[in-house]
Structures are given as C-alpha cells and as structure tokens.
Amino acid sequence: MTVLSDTWDYLTTASNWTGDGGMLQLLVEQLLISVTALLVAMLIGLPIALWLGHRGRGGLLAINVSNIGRAVPTFALLAVLVTADWPGTQEFGPYGRAGLATIIALTLFALPPIITNANVAVREVSAPVKQAADGMGMTGRQKFFRVELPLASPLIMSGIRLALVQVWATATIAALVAGPGLGRIITDGFYRTNYGKGIAGAIVVAAVALVLELLASVVQRALNPIPGPSSNRHRGMSVTRSMVAEETDAVGH
C-alpha cells in the first residue's frame, strides 16, 4: 500500500509535472521521438510494400525481411548505435542526447508491421474485384489508387496502429543511454528505490499508449470503405463490387 500511495502522491504533485525534467516535458519528448520514428518508417516502408503488393511480387521477401527486423532486439541495436562513432550519443536537435540513435533504432523497429500489413493488404485484395477493374479499362495506376488502396487502407492502418503503440512503449529504452522520454522517470525511480516514482512513470506510459491506440482505432475505422462487420463476407463483397462499378463508371464518363 505504501508503494501505491507513493505513486499517487507523485502523480498528483504538480511540481513533478512541470519544469525542466518534469513529466510533461519528458512526455512531449517521447511523443516527438515516437512520431518521428513512425513517420520515417512509413516513408521508407509504405512505398516499397505497396508497390510490391500491387505487382504481386516480392511478398515473401518483404515478410522475411520484416521477420528479421523483429528478431533483432531494439535495445541491442540502440546499444550498438550509441557506442559507434556515428550516430553515437551526441545531441540531435530537439531530440536531445542520443536522439538520432534512438530514432534509427525505433524506425527499424517500426518497419516490420508496416511493411507486412501494407504488402498483404494490397496483395490480398479480391481477385474478382481486380479483374472487374481490368475489364472496365482501368490503368494500373487507376486500379491501385481507386480500388486497391481504398480497400487495403484498414489493414494498412492496422499495421501503422500496431507500430505506433509498439514504438511509443519501446521508446522508454532511450533512458538507458540517457536519452529523452518518460523512461528517465522509470529508470531513475527504480535506481533510487523510489518505486512510487518509477511506477508513476510506467502508468503514464501505459495511459498514453491506450489513448494512442484509441485514436488510431478511430482513424482505422474511418478509413474502412466497407460498413458493417468485417465478418459478413457476402455483404462485404457486394459493397466492394459496387465500389468498383462506381469508380469504373466515373472513368467511363
């Protein structure tokens, strides 16, 4: 009970949230580094995965490369990066000490779910839908942007959503190399046997992860072009075919 009361006291003390090194500042730092790593991973991974999915080739290679990325511990990669001559532990703009090394490690960590989901999402668009688009005279570019990409968007967003939450939670390891983020609260608390402080930091990380998950799920639902339960396959197929018909009618006009 003492630990719980210490945790509550730490969370409800305004001075712990404000000022230099306060939890608000560290929370913003971790959000900044997480979002940056996610955006870089999307810029690198999405074009490759979508192109391979559209071509229907290289899917096995993309998934195997992603699996290799999952097998490499992020902390081990971060430890190698900070001990190397580059990027090392130097300051990197608003990201602070070891900021560049942390971004690189988190970007590589975010790539597997983004690449895998995007590739599978486009490649697994229903073959009859693709054939209908071809039969209506759509070019490859039109078929991708008007048919494949809209239908694949929910699964693509699912990969981004997974990567976002994983990167946010994993970004706490930056504290192990004196980097930015809420991990500093957690490590400092447990190092000094101030368990209330450490648990308070962990609670904030978990709470923000839930908020990010909720926001990402709302975006994912908004991107779904097929209303209703996804388990209703017959309804989904009919709606999908009607979408293709509408798009192809627009092309004809």
Strand partners, 97: 91
| Cα gap 104→95, rounded to integer Å | 12
The helix or strand, by DSSP H or E, that contains position 105, with its residue range, turns out to be helix 99-123
Any idea which residue has 């290289």 for tokens?
A: 58
Give the largest Cα separation in the chain, rounded.
72
Domains annotated for the chain, with CATH where assigned, are 2-252 (1.10.3720.10)
Q: Which of 159, 142, 158 is nearest to 220 (CA)?
A: 158
Q: Is 86 helix (H, G, I), strand (E, B) or coil?
A: coil
Q: Tell me the pLDDT band of 228, cut-offs 50, 70 and 90.
A: low
**pLDDT 10s digits, 150-203:** 999 999 999 999 999 999 999 999 998 888 899 999 999 999 999 999 999 999
- pTM here is 0.85
Q: Looking at per-residue confidence, does 120 or 38 come out higher?
A: 38
**pLDDT 10s digits, 51-69:** 988 887 776 777 777 777 7
